[in-house]
Structure 1
Amino acid sequence: MHSSCGNIAVWWNNLRNGEYYMKFTNIGPIKNANLTLGQLTIFSGGNNQGKTYITYAIYGVLKELTARYELLDVEQAEIFLSENKYTFSKEEFNKAYANFIVSTIRKSSNRILSKVFSSGIKTFEDSEILLDPQEVIEMIGLTRTEHFRKQIEFRNILFIFELAEKTISVSYLKKSQNSGLNTEEMLPEEFTLDRRFLNMVFSLIIQDYISNSFNYIYVPAERTGINVFSKELHNGRANFIDDLSTLDEDDEKIIKSIRERKSTYPQPVDEYVKYLNSLEDYDIMINESNKISQIIRDKMIGGRFGFDKEKGTAYFKLKDDSKVSLHMASSSAKSLYGLDYYLDSILGDNTNNFIIIDEPEINLHPSNQIEFAVLINYLIESGVNLIISTHSDFLMKKLANLALLNKIKKQPGISRENTKIYNFENQTLSEIDYFNKDNVFENFDKNYQNLENEYFNLVDLMHEEIEDEL
């Protein structure tokens, strides 16, 4: 990991077409970067130029937006405890809650970044993340107008959170053993209801609401191996912890040291492993009407994935209904495992979805890279926010063609207005005009031009050698 990670400042400003302005300073090899996230954001450039650093940092911000934060200040908690209820105006709540999130993230920048990179906190000791409160409100779904009600019962007390069009209220009711709910009864003597406990309870409820309004996933470049060995990675860690129980009591210091060890994987990779292992925990239903996931199954891999619960293994099912173990499937199929299921689960669920894919072209033939561009176009049409880093000029050229086609036919999908492309080079990044061919494809075409020039120079030399022999 690069040793200089200094100040990191991120501002999310509400621009037109759902764009978000961000500024980074000294993160990995990137010294200074200004960028705007579009609905589709593309990172290109050579290896070791900082693309993964930036995408990891973005992931860390998205994850932190779904963390638990305080709801009631001291005065509000006192009113709540005396009246059993507190009601906010929605505008008041949104502003206060978003400001609290922004303040907490700013103060915890080094912790957030060290966790996402699985690095020591000193690596980011001077780091800072700044967010725009209004943008936070929109990103996590607090501007939604539909009615939401959630309740949690604890020690015969029912805690209620209710979100209406213009108000948000929190309340509690004492549950009577004989007559249901009774607000007049006193709390149990052995139980102290205080501000800290109230914030814990209601932050859990709000976190549940936000989690159902705001989704994100990071699909790492290491996915081919992870997709095959995710269960072994998970079981290896679990067995390692279980083995601690066999140590003697005299090894207490060793036990403590081992238990305090953190994952050596960056957080986005670790979370992806957990996602893959969760696929066996629910009954996967193939959504035949989902044209996006069907692109993967019908046009890119020619089959579908499944999970054998008895054997505890994933498999690939061909169109002729024959099955092969996932590790026996093609590399292209392995690289796409799990993505179709994720798309089935999120599309049409009325949430704000962010998908980050590192090198979507991995193990894909050029024809499938082109199909992946079509899939991206459908994702943008469906309202998904997508961030990709790529080395594929096939993917880039097809995306450019789709943007032009959408403009000609006046249809939704990729467009100049909702797409941002950045090239990473020489410790910085610069925006590329999506419709200027000389800019968009220079990252790839200059290499083709060099190879072509080299070829024709060699052909000329060969002809000269032949002429000399004659």
Structure 2
Amino acid sequence: MKLSLKNIGKIETASVEINGITVIAGENNTGKSTVGRALFAVFNSFYNIQKQIESERVQNIENLIDMMYRNVTNRYTRRFDSGEIAQKIVAQIYLYKDDTEAVKDIIVKTILQYDENFEKHIGDNSIDEYIVRIKDGLNVADLDIFKSVLEKKLDAEFAGEVNNIFTDKTGEIVLSIKDTNIIVTIEDNAVKSVVGKIDLHTQTVYIDDPFVIDEVRYTYGIDNSSLDHRGYLREKLNKENNANLIDEIIASNKLDNIYRKISTVISGDIVKNKRSGLGYQRKNTDKVLDVKNLSTGFKTFAILKTLLMNGTIEYNGTIILDEPEIHLHPEWQLLFAELIVLIQKEFGVHILLNTHSPYFLNAIEVYAVKYGINDRCKYYLASSQDDISTIGDVTNNIELIYSKLARPLQELENERGRL
């Protein structure tokens, strides 16, 4: 997999390969996170494309049916399921997209099963306007709906500033997977065109803040298409364990080594607590501690373990880790680096990792050699000048990263020498 960016966020140019562990190192505010956000938005937009398009159609029709019912009856409560009607229409779109009367018939007949007075209300209020709008919605092209889905995700990740605000140049995101190139062109922060198509069967999970685990209780009732990576992660942390997948992994010893190492920090499990959020339950006790009361570093491991155990981290999946070392003391940094390497080795996961720590970078290097995956690792250096950032491949000269990141320590040593 390869991701290339032009004039996206702070990035003027970047081209990174992600076939194992890809590390982007650099100082703060050099555009490292821009790569992860772009990857998350584009990759997840191509996950189960047809299902996402159908979901958008259903949501549109459901909203119009609800609006129609309220305006016709002056009632805000209903006993019928407008979503179910919408799903029936979308499931047989070929029957309804050119037949206004058929659309009207299925809606009216279904509502009459629950509200026998609805037909009387229709006599006084025309519903034709809503029926036409529903039919028009059915005739919107799949590509236009997909562009809207992608635009929502990009907007959520970049807060409406997808293009580089310091230039008027067109933005471009190119995602290459196997022999397929997806080219997304962006102008004025809107998706102008999408060339290429691929239906992905795995999703990207993006981890950048351990405190997200405190917010899991607030995930309900949110439009999934507009979730940023933080909201998506909350949903996945709230996911039930996939018992079949766990049994399969344990049986093949894929998870055994990882689980033993992570259990040296977190031996218990993250569970639903009585206050509708998440809690931590240690082994051999029925006591549950609210996750808000866990240390920040502990939460980092709790998130990783939960995503492993509930099947979110899956074979050939993709993980984005944005400076995971921040809240970890040196010993736990080493363990976390080892776990990342083991997850890549055992699951074949594609990992995009941002860091500004030479210590953590070195740990990734060492464990990649230890576990025999150093040939699957790529290293990039992010640099910035005048609000414009570039990212270059330094895999064959990693010392450039250490030189950049270690400079502050050298300056401190120089200061010590002047005392």
Q: TM-score range by the shorter chain?
A: 0.5 to 0.7
SS at match of 2:238: helix
2: CA distance, partners of 1:403 / 1:122: 35
2: CA distance, partners of 1:49 / 1:295: 36
Of 378, 385, 397, which residue of structure 1 is paired with 2:362?
Answer: 397
Superposed displacement of residue 108, structure 1? 8.2
Q: Deviations over 1:41-72 (max 9, x none)?
A: 111112121111111001111112214249xx
Q: Deviations over 1:165-212 (max 9, x none)?
A: xxxxxxxxxxxxxxxxxxxxxxxxxxxxxxxxxxxxxxxxxx9xx66x
1: CA distance, partners of 2:393 / 2:411: 21
Superposed displacement of residue 316, structure 1? 1.9
Taking structure 2 as the reference length, the TM-score comes to 0.60
Q: What amino acid maps onto 2:239 in structure 1?
A: S
2: CA distance, partners of 1:280 / 1:353: 17
Unmatched runs of 5 consecutive residues or more in structure 2: 52-93, 96-140, 183-197
2: CA distance, partners of 1:332 / 1:285: 25
SS at match of 1:42: strand
Matched, 1:57 2:38: yes
Q: CA, structure 1 residues 442+65, in 2 after alignment: closer, same or farther (shift >3 Å)?
A: same
Aligned 8 A contact 1:39 1:419 in 2: yes
Aligned 8 A contact 1:44 1:391 in 2: yes
Q: Counterparts in 2 of 1:102-251, with a 5 A limit?
A: 113-119=154-160, 126-132=170-176, 135-136=179-180, 213-219=201-207, 221-222=208-209, 224-231=210-217, 233-234=218-219
User: How much is the aligned-residue C-alpha RMSD, in angstroms?
Assistant: 4.2
Aligned 8 A contact 2:27 2:405 in 1: no
Matched, 1:316 2:301: no
Of 288, 307, 317, which residue of structure 2 is paired with 1:353?
Answer: 317
Superposed displacement of residue 376, structure 1? 1.5
Superposed displacement of residue 274, structure 1? 1.9
2: CA distance, partners of 1:101 / 1:390: 39
2: CA distance, partners of 1:122 / 1:445: 32
Unmatched runs of 5 consecutive residues or more in structure 1: 1-18, 71-79, 82-99, 139-206, 239-261, 407-411, 459-470
Of 276, 297, 321, which residue of structure 1 is paired with 2:237?
Answer: 276
1: CA distance, partners of 2:41 / 2:147: 13
1: CA distance, partners of 2:345 / 2:312: 11
Superposed displacement of residue 136, structure 1? 4.0
Q: Deviations over 1:199-235 (max 9, x none)?
A: xxxxxxxx9xx66x4232111x23x22211221x336
Superposed displacement of residue 134, structure 1? 5.0
Superposed displacement of residue 271, structure 1? 1.0
Indicate the structure (1 or 2) with the bigger Cα radius of gyration.
1
Give the share of equivalent positions with the same residue, in percent.
19
Task: Give the equivalent residue in structure 2 for 1:340.
Answer: 305
Taking structure 1 as the reference length, the TM-score comes to 0.55
Of 371, 385, 389, which residue of structure 1 is paired with 2:350?
Answer: 385
- RCO (CA 8 Å, sep 6+): is it higher in 1 or 2? 2
Q: Counterparts in 2 of 1:285-304, with a 5 A limit?
A: 290-291=255-256, 293-295=258-260, 297-299=262-264, 301-304=265-268
1: CA distance, partners of 2:393 / 2:15: 13
Superposed displacement of residue 333, structure 1? 1.4
